Amino acid sequence: MDFIVLCIVVVLALGFDFINGFHDTANAIATTVSTRALKPRVAIVLAACMNFIGAITFTGVAKTIGSGVANPAELSNGVEIVIATLISAIVWNLVTWWFGIPSSSSHALIGSLTGAVIAGAGVGVINSDGLVDMVKALLLSPLIAFAMGYIIMTILKFVFARTSPHQVNKGFRFGQILTAAFQSFSHGTNDAQKAMGIITFALVAAGIQDHMEVPLWVKLSAAVAMALGTSVGGWKIIKTMGTKIFKIEPINGFAADIGSAGVILTATMLHLPVSTTHVITSSILGVGSAKRFASVRWGVAGRIVVAWFITIPITVIMAYIVFWLIDKIFY
């Protein structure tokens, strides 16, 4: 029975990773597709390949996810907690994808894990220091990305002020291919590790291993799931990210990609999970503000920001309820 339950955890975690892949494909390639630097299918294949490479390169974020909220070795019902976490996060990701809202898979997972741990073991087992560090990273990274996008775009405007727009766009359309690859790689280094961390959390909670090192099979399966999800694409979110915030030209897409990918990769090196959705959207907003403040559709941006703020509290409540239902029905 324990083996079957653990298999359910792995399937759910890889399902979350798959959904995260198509939910967040837009993040990596929206600007490239909207400026026609790459055809959509080519952009998605590029994103899938680079996501896979990024996913198998690092494991620091996985360890943070696996032990940041609570110590799985101290939880007698840790596997059930993970199941409730994943069900809640998957449902929220699907709802926001359906409505084309670039919500955060990271917020959904961390909020859901927090809610499930509280439901299953109480507030006392929460690792407050680890949780605060993760929340700080989630809150500060969009602000840093906005500033990076604004600064990079301002510099590019100054450097190419005397160059014809046609020549600028032609050059940066090629540059966007490189930045899309970099963006997708950085996305894989951070987002795919979240599923790795939650599976490892379950393995420790089940007593199968006593450390937070990510097994090779977990790393490979999560990377494949993320790449497959990316290959499906998320057209509704691509439309929101690439066209509804402001009219993106190749130089803008280049600046947004460089700024956001740099922030994500830095967070990965620091072993901190960040929301790639928040970071990339904020970078696009920063670039748009530098281009022309009035050109940004702030109403759409406001709707996105609202989704950012409500995700954690909603998923905490959802996961609490899901755990309660599992406990009542099966135990």
pLDDT digits (tens, 9 = 90+) for 125-162: 999 898 999 989 988 998 999 999 999 999 999 999 88
pLDDT value at residue 156 = 94
User: What average pLDDT does the segment 72-87 reach?
Assistant: 92
Question: Which has the closest alpha carbon to 277: 148, 138, 135, 130?
Answer: 138
**Residue % of the chain over a pLDDT of 70:** 90
* Rounded-to-5 percentages of helix, strand, coil across the chain: 85, 0, 15
**Contact yes or no for 26/102 (Cβ under 8 A):** yes
pLDDT score of 237: 52
Contact 263, 142 (CB under 8 A): no
Whether 278 and 284 have beta carbons less than 8 Å apart is answered as no
Number of domains in the chain: 1
Q: How confident is the model at residue 261 (pLDDT cuts 50, 70, 90)?
A: very high
Please give the pLDDT value at position 242: 46
Whole-model pTM: value is 0.87
Using CA atoms, how far apart are residues 106 and 195, in angstroms rounded to an integer? 10
Instruction: Tell me the residue range of the domain where 199 lies.
Output: 2-330
